[in-house]
């Protein structure tokens, strides 16, 4: 579920990251769901069946929303048609060279083609530097060309990259997601895993981290759980295409639940508020963010 849209230091290259945001997003001003003075809380819910597949066709009456345990009245509802802004981040460090990077490029191309025509995506290359190789756009041609040119280079600043990608996609507004493909090993960042988790917790970005060819770091499932996304561990990189197809399908079938908090927000007293969502349907599971910073 969505949290407070706040700025964060993206590491020692803060100025470079801000420049990348301007290039990727342009001079776009959007409404943040939990900015000061905004009372509409927007929750993006993923509902799956016992096999992990999305459950379509639910209505507003199928959901219950609670804030700090208190029931809330749902005033906004949308099913499956909420526009998406996506950052697709690919680790291109030397540890990904060879089959891993080739498979990641091919699966990413297929993934982009499975998004809705109006969905916007940006491609971020992750190494010791974080580079936007294709800006946020609904046009796929530039993104596909950027993927084809992606070559291995340098080492991995994974924690810095997670923070930078969140900061890049956060201003896009609406439903935002980060899909991260990496072997999961940080070798260069100044930011810690705790820094990345804190930034994810206070953002509005669903995170889907995918560990390729090695053990999944503890950071990945924590990022997914905090943000309402999902993490994956692929010992066989050839499974990446199937995994990205699963994520694409999930992103096409999410629900938007909006409510005005029954307990007013006091801008002078920022506080963390937990949000829970229940579905009045047997045999299903719902994933949402764990709360938001009200201020």
- Establish how many alpha carbons lie within 13 A of residue 164's alpha carbon, considering only the half-sphere containing its beta carbon: 35
What pLDDT sits at residue 9? 38
* Domain range summary for the chain, segments of one domain joined by +: 41-80+254-294, 81-251
> Class for domain 81-251, per CATH?
alpha beta
Question: By the 8 A CB rule, do 180 and 209 touch?
Answer: yes
What letters, b where the CB count within 10 A reaches 16 and e where it falls short, cover 80-91? eebebbbbbbbb
Say what the pTM is. Answer: 0.85
Contacts of 231 (CB under 8 A, 6+ apart): 208, 209, 210, 211, 216, 220, 221, 223, 224
Query: Per residue in 111-134, pLDDT tens?
Result: 999 999 999 999 999 999 999 999
Query: Per residue in 4-14, pLDDT tens?
Result: 333 333 333 33
Query: Per residue in 272-289, pLDDT tens?
Result: 999 999 999 999 999 999
What pLDDT sits at residue 38? 52
- Residue 211 tokens read as 């560990």
Query: Per residue in 222-247, pLDDT tens?
Result: 999 999 999 999 988 889 999 999 99
Residue 15 — very low, low, confident or very high, per pLDDT cuts 50/70/90? very low
Query: Per residue in 74-93, pLDDT tens?
Result: 999 999 878 899 999 999 99
What pLDDT sits at residue 227? 95
Using alpha carbons only, give the angle 211, 293, 44 rounded to the nearest 5 degrees: 55
Using alpha carbons only, give the angle 132, 136, 139 rounded to the nearest 5 degrees: 120
Residue 39 — very low, low, confident or very high, per pLDDT cuts 50/70/90? confident
Percent residues over pLDDT 90 in the chain: 75
């Amino acid at each position: 579920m969505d949290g407070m849209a706040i700025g964060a230091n993206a590491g020692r290259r803060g100025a470079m990251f801000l420049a990348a945001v301007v290039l990727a997003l342009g001079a776009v001003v959007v409404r943040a769901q939990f900015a000061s003075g905004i009372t509409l809380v927007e929750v993006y819910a993923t509902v799956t069946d016992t096999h992990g597949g999305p459950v379509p066709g639910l209505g507003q009456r199928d959901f219950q929303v609670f804030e700090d345990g208190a029931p809330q009245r749902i005033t906004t509802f949308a099913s499956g048609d909420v526009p998406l802004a996506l950052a697709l981040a690919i680790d291109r460090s030397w540890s990904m060279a060879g089959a891993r990077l080739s498979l990641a490029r091919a699966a990413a191309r297929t993934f982009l083609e499975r998004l809705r025509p109006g969905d916007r995506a940006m491609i971020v290359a992750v190494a010791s530097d974080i580079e936007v190789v294709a800006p946020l756009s609904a046009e796929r041609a530039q993104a596909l060309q950027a993927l084809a040119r992606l070559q291995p280079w340098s080492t991995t600043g994974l924690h810095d990259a997670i923070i930078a990608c969140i900061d890049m996609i956060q201003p896009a507004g609406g439903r935002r997601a980060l899909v991260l493909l990496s072997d999961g090993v940080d070798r260069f960042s100044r930011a810690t895993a705790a820094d990345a988790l804190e930034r994810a917790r206070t953002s509005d970005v669903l995170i889907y981290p995918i560990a390729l060819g090695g053990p999944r770091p503890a950071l990945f499932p924590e990022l997914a759980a905090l943000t309402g996304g999902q993490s994956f561990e692929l010992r066989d990189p050839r499974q990446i295409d199937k995994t990205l197809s699963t994520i694409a399908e999930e992103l096409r079938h999410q629900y938007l639940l909006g409510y005005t908090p029954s307990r007013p927000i006091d801008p002078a007293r920022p506080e963390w508020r937990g949000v829970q969502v229940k579905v009045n349907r047997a045999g299903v599971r719902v994933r949402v963010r764990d709360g938001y910073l009200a201020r």
